[in-house]
Structure 1
Amino acid sequence: MSTVASLAQAGHDRAAAAVARVREAAEGVFEALREVRDAAVACALPAGGTRRPVAADLAALRPLLWARLRGGALSAHMPAHLPALIAGIGFIAAPGLLADAPWYLEWWQESPSGDPVQLLRDMDPASSAFYDYTHWDWYAGPSSGAERTICGPYVDYLCTDEYSLTLSVPVLAGGTFAGVAAADVFVRRFEAAVLPALRAIPGPAFLVNDEGRVVASNTATWVTGSVYRGGRGGEEHAVRRVGDLPLSLVTAASA
């Protein structure tokens, strides 16, 4: 094999390794969300579906949510070389699902003390501070039929003031949309998980979501949060889908 061909093969192998690293990091979070989804279905169909659920039924989710915030996602779903990613996680009820709370979210997040804390928002539609979560992409995606949604990166001013990603999946109870299972991941943690593999690729390499927003990058040319709409100045890129996730790896065409 020629030197040029050997270099091309090495670049291809490193890109494939980066795709695998991104996939296992994201899949670990989505696997935790599938657990929350399944548990939420049980909560949304109390007594075999003979009555409407109430907010108190969702308290049964708390041990699972707390475990994921305390690193359970790392031990149960992720290889040891990946950091614990989840900073917030919960179930967001479809409006009208609960008999006693037309709008409700069972959401828990990290705190400096180390103990999970519940996020409390104004759920009164008549209030000027009403939190209408249905407008957010992480909710709108699953409610419109997307099996897996990745929203961001964005600054999460409502919860943590951190640059974040939100991953979410729909929750169906009895064939009806019941809400969303979602998790927040700090971008700095996701970058720590995937950047070593991106940096091993010769030349520029960056990860984008389905909207073209850069999630992580090994180059200052394409910084996290910027929007990719194709190469600049005649650049040619190769785009590799990360399995069936709403993410793609973009590299130089030669990689």
Structure 2
Amino acid sequence: MSQSPGLVGDAATTSAGSAEEGVSAQVARRLEAVFDSVAETCADTAELLVRVAAEGRRPVTADLAALRPGLHLRLARDELVSGAGFITAPGLLTDVPAWLEWWQTSAEGVLRPLLPDLDPGRSAYSDYTHWDWFALPRDAGRRALSGPYVDYLCSDEYSLTLSAPVRVAGRFAGVAAADVYLRHFEAVVLPLLRRLPGPAHLVNARGRVAASADPAHLAGSLTRGPDFTAVLERGRAQMCGATRLVPCRGVPLVLVVATG
């Protein structure tokens, strides 16, 4: 018995939708593991700051050394993570105006601390509070994915930064974060995107392309038009003209697939 063209079309649409949902779920799972590491840094930092407050004093940079064993463990555990740490809100510490307790893995696999110059008289990067990876968690109160961008502060690599706010007694203390080099992220997700029947790319909440198998949308460029924040908030796939938007559930990325 032959099928009607309508039934064939419905089956093809369902199959494509299932493939897109599968890819978005795999991307979400991989990034969720990185966000789990960020959450562990959040918990360690909040616990440390509460302990310092219980001693009747404010924290100093030396106190943040207690975070290092956990940061080293997370860097060794997740090969996608190239850097991890806690970035203070200005004024949190009494001995310096700003600080990054940040560790990263060198090309040789060696763990090393980042020692940035945060003197406003010498460094163009002394004020990090306007960068998305800091500002979005501070202002929205939730985790964020920023980039890709050239990370001049930490690595000079094209990177993604996953971050989340650290709050103590209801007050913003800074952000916990993890860096993922874009080349490592693309190695994981591009084979998934290429399985889809139409050109596909991934964007963050602001429409910045995080990875792409679509030559019309290069990594780092902006995809304009759809409200990607609204798509993430709804948490379900939708059509926008001839484009299908599929949220990567639980993480702030949207899979964008051309269907026509």
Shorter-chain TM-score range: 0.7 to 0.9
* Identity score, percent: 48
**Higher deviation after alignment, 3-12 or 150-159:** 3-12
> What secondary structure, in the 3-state scheme, does the structure 1 residue paired with 2:178 have?
strand
Any residues of structure 2 matched to 1:165-244 within 5 Å, and which?
165-230=160-225, 236-244=242-250
Q: Describe the superposition over 1:103-148 as per-residue Cα deviations: whole angstroms up to 9, x where unpaired.
A: 1110011113422111111233444556111121111111113401
C-alpha contact 1:88 1:184 (8 A) present in aligned 2: yes
Measure, in 2, the Cα distance between the counterparts of 1:142 and 1:187.
21
Q: Is the 8 A contact 1:156 1:163 kept in 2?
A: yes
Whole-angstrom CA distance in 2 between matches of 1:128 and 1:93: 17
The answer to whether the aligner puts 1:54 opposite 2:49 as a matched pair is: no
Structure 2 distance, partners of 1:152, 1:88, is 15
C-alpha distance in 2, partners of 1:125/1:32? 31
Gaps of 5+ in 2: 227-239
The one of 13, 17, 41 equivalent to 1:12 is 17
TM-score w.r.t. length of structure 1: 0.87
1:20-63 per-position Cα deviation (integer Å, ceiling 9, x unaligned) = 01111111111100000000112222342521111111101101
Deviates more, 1:47-56 or 1:91-100: 47-56
Aligned residue pair count? 241
Counterpart in 1 of 2:113?
A: 118
Measured after TM superposition, the shift of residue 203 of structure 1 is: 1.0
- 2:233 equivalent in structure 1: none
Question: Deviations for 1:169-191, whole angstroms, at most 9, x for unmatched residues?
Answer: 00001111111001110111111
Find the counterpart in structure 2 of residue 22 from structure 1. 27
* Residues 124 and 252 of structure 1: CA distance in aligned 2, closer, same or farther (over 3 Å): closer
Question: CA RMSD for the aligned pairs?
Answer: 2.0
* Conserved? CA contact 2:32–2:250, under 8 Å: no
Matched letter for residue 66 of structure 2: A
Q: Give CA deviations for 1:203-224 in whole Å, capped at 9, x if unaligned.
A: 1111111111111112212121
> Quick check: 1:248 aligned with 2:254?
yes
Partners in 2 of 1:29 and 1:56 — Cα distance? 26
Cα distance in structure 2, aligned partners of 1:249 and 1:49: 48
Change in CA separation of 1:144 and 1:26 when aligned onto 2, cut-off 3 Å = same
2:234 corresponds to which residue? none
Mark the CA change 1:27 to 1:112 in structure 2 (over 3 Å): closer, same or farther. same
Q: Does the 8 A contact of 1:43 with 1:53 survive in 2?
A: no
Asked whether the equivalents of residues 208 and 216 of structure 1 are also in contact (C-alpha less than 8 Å), the reply is yes
Counterpart of 1:223, as a letter, is L
CA contact (8 A) 2:116 2:153 kept: no
Structure 1 128/89 Cα, relative in aligned 2: closer, same or farther at 3 Å? closer
Measured in 1, the distance between the counterparts of 2:199 and 2:50 equals: 49
Indicate whether 1:63 and 2:69 are aligned.
yes
- CA–CA separation in structure 2 for the residues paired with 1:34 and 1:178: 14
TM-score, normalised relative to structure 2: 0.86
- Larger CA deviation: 243-252 vs 169-178: 243-252
Aligned residues of 1:143 and 1:179 also touching (Cα < 8 A): yes
Match 1:139 to one of 130, 134, 137 = 134
For residues 72 and 139 of structure 2, the distance between their equivalents in structure 1, rounded to whole angstroms, comes to 28
From 100, 107, 111, give the equivalent of 1:105. 100
Distance in 2 of aligned mates of 1:252 and 1:88: 34
